[in-house]
Amino acid sequence: MNEKKMKNFIVLILFVFVSNIYLQTRARTEIQIPDILGYKTLKCDFHIHTVFSDGNVWPTVRAEEAWREGLDAISITDHLEYTPHKEDINLRYNRSSEIAKSHGDELDITVIKGSEITRSMPPGHLNAIFINDADKLKTDKWQDAVAEAVKQNAFIFWNHPGWKAQLKEGKIKMYPEHIDLIERGILKGIEVVNDVDYYPEAFEWALKYDLTIMSNSDIHDPINLYFNFAEHEQRSKTLVFAKDKSEEAIKDALINQRTVVYWKNNLMGSEKYLRPIFDNSISFDKQELSFTGRQTKFIQIKNNSEVDYKLKLVSSSQSVDLPEEITFKGNKIVLFEVRPKKKDQSGKEKIKAVYEIINMKIKPDENMKIEFLFSAEFNPAK
Ligand SMILES: [Zn+2]
Ligand SMILES: [Zn+2]
């Protein structure tokens, strides 16, 4: 190899090496869920730990993890009362959010200052976010910590209400202390999902008491040690419908309950948000079918979101056979098969089929239903 060839070879090797590092280490994967109702659909995680409490991660890493995973906003919520690394760091309660925010600002990730008020049950663990001084929340009595958070205009929510370590006789329970906080307008949200645990009771309470429903990771470890991204595992997230990703807009959305749980391919929350998410995800290539005899026809259904919508037939017209179950796979087009039941049918009919979407819950025990409408023209087989 002459000198010039050698040089080119080295440049090529360097290029391959550098581009591999680039591809492997610093790429963002967008979360594909459509915007709705004139709002941006923000992907958020409002419960995250760092070394400033019992987490195993430096705060800047949290901002970049969120960026890579396609999130828009996070809140760092280190425990005030449980700080096992305090001998190894210079513990100050505001620092984790501040350090994460400095990197978040670089990456356009909104980092909201928070704290986890970590007490025995009741009230258990409460997150106060949008605070301005975490130091002042370190009080002897939990009531004083909550009062200070209120003074700082925090949004306060109840963390992991079904956490096993804090259950009485193994039962998830709302205490008079919680009801009192709700009635005084202090407790505004509840984690329906924390980490990999879903609490149907919390979903029920959110509906009953008009609480903002939330789903957060409560991550302590480095995110890619905890989830297997190669297997498409993801952290639990709260979808927030906000004008933009500023703190003010996110806070407005949380106060007005414009949220949906996004957890393991499940969407849970109010139908007024779930329905437009589904409608904006799905499109059809045609809605008129013409049959001869028992010929099978197809409607191509495109899903622009990453969610695999799992449908189950509830009722349909007597004239045609439709899939009993079908999955509108994320980012795919699927064939929806329609076949007349009888070969000698004739005439036109508006076909209506009702499906329930088993991974879209509007109540703990109720799935969202959709109506599927198309027109059919039947010609008898010759
Ligand atoms: Zn906790
Ligand atoms: Zn926590």
In the reported structure, the alpha carbon of residue 79 is separated from the centroid of ligand 1 by a whole-number distance in angstroms of 8
In the reported structure, the alpha carbon of residue 243 is separated from the centroid of ligand 2 by a whole-number distance in angstroms of 28
- Rounded CA-CA distance 210/315 in Å is 32
Give the per-residue pLDDT at 106. Answer: 98
In the reported structure, the alpha carbon of residue 126 is separated from the centroid of ligand 2 by a whole-number distance in angstroms of 9
End-to-end CA distance of the chain: 76
In the reported structure, the alpha carbon of residue 78 is separated from the centroid of ligand 2 by a whole-number distance in angstroms of 7
In the reported structure, the alpha carbon of residue 47 is separated from the centroid of ligand 2 by a whole-number distance in angstroms of 6
In the reported structure, the alpha carbon of residue 116 is separated from the centroid of ligand 1 by a whole-number distance in angstroms of 7
In the reported structure, the alpha carbon of residue 225 is separated from the centroid of ligand 1 by a whole-number distance in angstroms of 20
Give the per-residue pLDDT at 6. Answer: 64
- Rounded CA-CA distance 44/157 in Å is 15
Ligand nearest to the CA of 123: 1
In the reported structure, the alpha carbon of residue 216 is separated from the centroid of ligand 2 by a whole-number distance in angstroms of 9
What are φ and ψ of residue 241, in 5° steps?
Answer: -100, 105
Would you give the distance in Å from CA 260 to the centre of its chain?
A: 7
- Rounded CA-CA distance 183/217 in Å is 27
- Rounded CA-CA distance 154/149 in Å is 5
Give the per-residue pLDDT at 316. Answer: 93
Give the per-residue pLDDT at 381. Answer: 86
Smallest Cα–Cα separation from 239: which of 108, 73, 65, 28? 73
Smallest Cα–Cα separation from 112: which of 55, 71, 74, 150? 74
In the reported structure, the alpha carbon of residue 259 is separated from the centroid of ligand 2 by a whole-number distance in angstroms of 20
In the reported structure, the alpha carbon of residue 118 is separated from the centroid of ligand 1 by a whole-number distance in angstroms of 6
Domains along the sequence of the chain with CATH: 28-264 (3.20.20.140), 281-379 (2.60.40.10)
Ligand nearest to the CA of 118: 1
Over its length of 382 residues, how does the chain's per-residue pLDDT go in tens digits? Answer: 566 666 666 666 655 555 555 556 689 999 999 999 999 999 999 999 999 999 999 999 999 999 999 999 999 999 999 999 999 998 999 999 999 999 999 999 999 999 999 999 999 999 999 999 999 999 999 999 999 999 999 999 999 999 999 998 899 999 999 999 999 999 999 999 999 999 999 999 999 999 999 999 999 999 999 999 888 899 999 999 999 999 999 999 999 999 999 999 999 999 999 999 999 999 999 989 999 999 999 999 999 999 999 999 999 988 999 999 999 999 999 999 999 999 999 999 999 999 999 999 999 999 999 999 999 999 998 7
- Rounded CA-CA distance 108/114 in Å is 18
In the reported structure, the alpha carbon of residue 118 is separated from the centroid of ligand 2 by a whole-number distance in angstroms of 8
Ligand nearest to the CA of 119: 1
Instruction: Return the amino acid letter for 93.
Output: Y
Q: Are 257 and 239 in contact, with CB atoms under 8 Å apart?
A: no
In the reported structure, the alpha carbon of residue 238 is separated from the centroid of ligand 2 by a whole-number distance in angstroms of 15
Distances (CA, A) of 182 to 115, 206, 253: 19, 11, 18
HSE-up (13 A, CA, CB side) for residue 213: 30
In the reported structure, the alpha carbon of residue 48 is separated from the centroid of ligand 1 by a whole-number distance in angstroms of 10
In the reported structure, the alpha carbon of residue 125 is separated from the centroid of ligand 1 by a whole-number distance in angstroms of 5
Give the per-residue pLDDT at 382. Answer: 78
Contacts of 292 (CB under 8 A, 6+ apart): 379, 380, 381, 382
DSSP state string for 34-48: --BTTBEEEEEEEEE
In the reported structure, the alpha carbon of residue 329 is separated from the centroid of ligand 2 by a whole-number distance in angstroms of 33
Ligand nearest to the CA of 121: 1
Ligand nearest to the CA of 220: 2
Reported as type and span, the H/E element at residue 107 is helix 95-107
In the reported structure, the alpha carbon of residue 319 is separated from the centroid of ligand 1 by a whole-number distance in angstroms of 55
